[in-house]
Structure 1
Amino acid sequence: MLTAGWFGAEACNFAPVRLLLLSLGDGALVRFVTAATGRPPREVTIGHVIGAGRELLVDRGFRVIDFAASPDEVDAVYVGGGNTFALWHELTESGTAALLDERVRAGLPYIGLSAGSVIAGPDIEPAGLLDDPADAPGLSSTAGFGWIPQVPVPHAGGMLPAYPSAVIERTFTEFGRRFRLLALDDDQALLVDDHGTRVVPSV
């Protein structure tokens, strides 16, 4: 598994975005948003897009609103967990993916959790052993946002019953030759900011 450290220049300069890609633990969340906005949580509005985990934003003191309804009123945006394929299908079919891509590439800080982290990469196909693609039968393409060159693989420590080590190992065996995979344990996150790209603790 990868440990906290710096990636090469290619990863650091892949896209001019600010990202926090969580696996499960949200310990890096407040630090990321505070650094990105220069304000404490009570003064920050986060746009919730889709997926589980909205409650953790509220618990941390952020104001949370619907991103698609008020995209000009948010200081950061959040996409939570769930079935990666179903989540991506809903985002692309609704047109929200295009809006989200435009705003994030323009500098809006992005927080992803689990599936919300996977879609930040170039393709979601490697999530096919973690989530069932059959839950999104109408999905026409597995190409993700492509904000980073790696495909995040959340829950890579194999600690959650739904994602045992054998499934994580199979993911790297079956997809590792075609995709650059990035293992994220549940107490880690991928941070992309003005200082570069690195895996950080997120306990």
Structure 2
Amino acid sequence: MTTAIIIIAVVVVAAIAAFFLLRGRPAGGRSLRGRFGPEYDRAVARHGGDTAAAEQELGDRVKRHGHLDVRPLTEEARARYAARWASAQEVFVESPERALTEADALLADLTRERGFPGGEDFEDRTDALSVHHAAHVDGYRRVHAARHGNVSTEEMREALIEGRGLFDDLLAGAPSGREHGNRHLVKGRGTS
């Protein structure tokens, strides 16, 4: 009888200790990997494989940008942005560079209107977007980089397609991770 009570007491104490140890840990590991998806892997790679440093960075992003007052769009604004994106896609056939310039500016304008950081600090804006739209923020980075880099027409087309994922999420107010099908661009130069 005494042995059974001691075993039960040890199990209860171990369970309570485990509960408090796990509860006191900062959000990281699986929860950050689940929240950030490919952005988690990007941060780990940027920190040379140091997951603790990457998790610290991502945790800091959540603290800085997790409670943004993300504003909804009016129907008029939604229609205006949709028309601008359609125009950028149409321009792609004649001038991929001009299409990327418009897409980059459009994404910057849309993010500001939705309540994300504005200004000239692209990294701060993409950090904030990564907290709320981690699945698609890299598309914005690709649009921005392709606009400022020496890339092929195919790479520009792919960047525009990936940027469309973030555009769709921001336009619809969708949460991160929403899957999108066709991005309305067909292989090669042109729109569908």
Calculate the TM-score normalised by the size of structure 2: 0.29
Decide which structure has greater strand share: 1
- Look at both structures and tell me which one has the larger radius of gyration over its CA atoms: 2
Decide which structure has greater helix share: 2
